[in-house]
């Protein structure tokens, strides 16, 4: 892994990726308002990304191998599910059963689940995946930073609305957070072994493959006419080529260089960028309380990131 000052570039890259992903919530909202179903949005988004990564591979002569053995393909399948199809499916389905604020808060608890699963896997797991995980020290920086970031998330998510518990929707949102945490456990090692482009290509492939059973029921009302407005195909291109293709490659590199816990802590900043984008593009208001929440999230991420790695 990169050491010292050389890691700064990867922290900046993580910040840029999460900034883009924060914008995607606004883009998705625009597309849903235009008549597209979330499952169709995911399908088109990943098709564009998958086509884009193959175009890059063919132009650069990168690894074109399709099969890496049953064990390795099983891991890629897990990554395609947890970082692709099931992550987006559970997140979007949760919105149908509970408040958007609940979903925003619970999905962005992924760093907390990542830290917990990392501690457990390093303690009880064996093999290369356990050894590749970030060495995390369970101390005040990690605990305090996590609590502060979650408090900020609550201020941003629930400001202006009352908390209402909806077990089905809330459990789906928690499921999305757990999916991303599992993705973070295994992606770093696969990126190290196969490179960011190949590992990302496999994630896109299995993400598309495992969303197929859910696609049929949502395609009846789909029409190509829905894609004709500039705002629709413009947002789809942004989601597919920037937020998926470029950002997944960049994020997988960040996980490899910074560690699965340190990188995932940046996910706490997602609602900050979403709030800023919604304020600028959708005319939504940023109140004093949500501004304080953003500040708390940023401070929590910095504090949690200051935790010193546990000695080997």
SS (H, E, C) 36-52: CCHHHHHHHHHHHHHHH
Token pair 């304020």 is found at 279
Q: Residue 54: inside a domain, yes or no?
A: yes
Q: Which residue, among 250, 247, 248, 262, has the nearest Cα to 307 in the 3D structure?
A: 262
Question: Does residue 280 carry a pLDDT above 90?
Answer: no
Q: How many residues does the chain have?
A: 312
pLDDT score at 311: 45
- As a whole number, the mean pLDDT across the chain is 80
Q: Is the separation of the CB atoms in 173 and 107 below 8 Å?
A: yes
Residue 221 pLDDT > 60: no
Closest CA relative to residue 101, chosen from 166, 38, 146? 166
Q: pTM for the complete prediction?
A: 0.80
Query: 226 in a domain, yes or no?
Result: yes
Cα–Cα distance measured from residue 148 to residue 305, given in angstroms and rounded to the nearest whole number = 12
Mean of the pLDDT values across residues 39-54? 90
Of 84, 74, 96, 95, nearest to 43 by C-alpha is 84
Sign of the C-alpha dihedral computed for residues 190, 42, 176 and 112 taken in this order: positive
Q: What's the number of domains the chain is made of? A: 1
Q: For 75-123, what is each residue's pLDDT tens digit?
A: 999 999 999 999 988 887 776 676 665 666 677 778 878 888 888 888 8
Is the separation of the CB atoms in 183 and 76 below 8 Å? Answer: no
Q: What pLDDT sits at residue 132?
A: 83
- Residue 1 pLDDT: 42
Of residues 74 and 104, the one with the higher pLDDT is 74
In this structure, is residue 310 part of a structural domain? no
Tokens of 112: 């907390």
State what percent of residues in the chain have pLDDT above 70.
Answer: 78
Percent of the chain's residues with pLDDT above 90? 24
Domain encompassing residue 178: 4-305
Would you say residue 298 lies in a domain?
yes
Query: Which tops the pLDDT comparison, 156 or 54?
Result: 54
Is residue 311 in a domain? Answer: no
What would the mean pLDDT of 56-81 be, rounded to a whole number?
Answer: 91
Please report the sign of the dihedral spanned by the C-alpha atoms of residue 100, residue 33, residue 40, residue 196: negative
């Amino acid at each position: 892994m990169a050491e010292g000052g050389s890691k700064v570039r990867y922290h900046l890259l993580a910040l840029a990726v999460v900034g883009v992903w924060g914008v995607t919530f606004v883009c998705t909202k625009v597309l849903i308002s235009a008549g597209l179903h979330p499952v169709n949005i995911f399908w088109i988004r990943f098709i564009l990304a998958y086509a884009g990564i193959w175009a890059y591979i063919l132009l650069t002569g990168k690894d074109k191998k399709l099969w890496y053995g049953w064990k390795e393909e099983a891991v890629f399948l897990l990554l395609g599910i947890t970082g692709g199809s099931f992550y987006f499916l559970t997140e979007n389905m949760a919105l149908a059963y509970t408040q958007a604020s609940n979903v925003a808060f619970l999905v962005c608890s992924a760093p907390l689940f990542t830290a917990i699963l990392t501690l457990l896997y390093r303690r009880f797991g064996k093999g290369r995946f356990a050894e590749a995980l970030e060495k995390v020290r369970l101390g005040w920086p990690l605990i305090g930073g996590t609590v502060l970031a979650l408090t900020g998330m609550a201020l941003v998510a629930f400001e202006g609305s009352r908390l209402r518990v909806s077990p089905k929707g809330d459990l789906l949102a928690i499921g999305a957070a757990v999916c991303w945490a599992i993705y973070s456990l295994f992606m770093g090692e696969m990126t190290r072994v196969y490179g960011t482009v190949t590992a990302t290509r496999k994630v896109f492939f299995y993400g598309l493959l495992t969303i197929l059973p859910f696609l049929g029921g949502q395609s009846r009302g789909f029409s190509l006419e829905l894609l004709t407005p500039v705002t629709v195909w413009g947002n789809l291109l942004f989601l597919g080529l920037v937020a998926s293709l470029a950002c997944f490659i960049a994020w997988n590199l960040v996980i490899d260089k910074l560690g699965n816990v340190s990188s995932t802590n940046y996910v706490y900043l997602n609602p900050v960028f979403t709030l800023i984008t919604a304020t600028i593009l959708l005319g939504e208001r940023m109140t004093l309380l949500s501004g304080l929440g953003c500040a708390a999230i940023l401070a929590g991420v910095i504090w949690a990131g200051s935790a010193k790695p546990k000695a080997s």
